[in-house]
Amino acid sequence: MTFLFNTGRTSAQGTGLEHKSGPEYREATSVCRMNPVDLMQLEIEAGERIRAAGPGGVVVLRVAASDDIPQGTVFVPLGPYANAVVGAETHGTGMPDYKSVEVEVEPTDDPVPTIDQLMEAVGGLAYLEEER
């Protein structure tokens, strides 16, 4: 199904900003809020996972139900998960389309990747604090 993809700040995402290697930030930014009616149409329940494909790529997200999200749209907090979907075209403004991007959403059993896995997928090298 096609949805309009919106990103934005949330207080959970904001409080995780100072410890982005922690689980709170990962939890806060990998959640996709959707209208319960859309969840029914996708035949999934809150807590299950979807795969969102947009102009920048594909990412697996955990779903949460929210009456505040209009039908036909999904909301993902600003962060590395949302940006896996956003394209780099700025239409001559310097600003990518972080709001109102069309994405294809489908249910999946794939796991939500860790942030390190997302960064390694683009060529990075995880820095593991616990090994040091």
Partner 1 sequence: MIHRDMICPFCGCLCDDLVITTEGNEVVQVDNACTLGTHKLMGAWKNRLKNPIMRDGGEWRDASYEEAIEYAAGVLLDADRPLLYGWSSTQGEAQGLGVSMAELLGGVIDSTTSVCHGPSILAIQEVGHPGCTLGQVKNRADLVIYWACNPTEAHPRHMSRYTTYADGFFLENAFRDRKLIVVDVRKSETTSIADEFVKVKPGGDYAVFSALRAIVRGRADVVPDTVAGVSKEQLVRIGAMCKEAKFGALFFGVGLTMAPGKYKNIRNAIELVDELNRYTKWTLTPLRGHYNVYGSNEVFTWMTGYPYAVDFSRQIAFYNPGETTAVDILARKECDACLIVASDPGAHFPKACLEHLTKIPTVLIDPMHTVTTPLCRCQIPTAVNGIDAGGTAYRMDGVPIHVKKFMDLGYPSDTEVIGRIFERIQEVKHP
Residues in contact with partner 1 by the rule CB under 8 A: 4, 6-11, 14-15, 17-22, 29, 56-57, 67-70, 73, 75, 78-80, 83-84, 86-100, 115-116, 119-120, 122-127, 129, 132
Paired with 41 in beta bridges are none
Give the shortest CB-75-to-partner 1 separation in angstroms.
7
State the Rg of the chain over Cα. Answer: 15
Give the shortest CB-102-to-partner 1 separation in angstroms.
11
| Dihedral pair phi/psi, residue 66, rounded to 5° | -150, 125
- Give the nearer residue to partner 1 in terms of CB position, either 88 or 109: 88
Q: Which of 100, 120, 124 is nearest to 5 (CA)?
A: 100
Give the shortest CB-62-to-partner 1 separation in angstroms.
18
- Give the nearer residue to partner 1 in terms of CB position, either 43 or 125: 125
Q: Show the tokens assigned to 27.
A: 């939890």
- Give the nearer residue to partner 1 in terms of CB position, either 43 or 76: 76
- Give the nearer residue to partner 1 in terms of CB position, either 43 or 88: 88
Exposed, middle or buried, 58 (CB in 10 Å: 0-12/13-18/19+)? middle
Give the shortest CB-25-to-partner 1 separation in angstroms.
8
Q: How distant, in Å, are the alpha carbons of 30, 47, 90 from that of 113?
A: 9, 15, 27
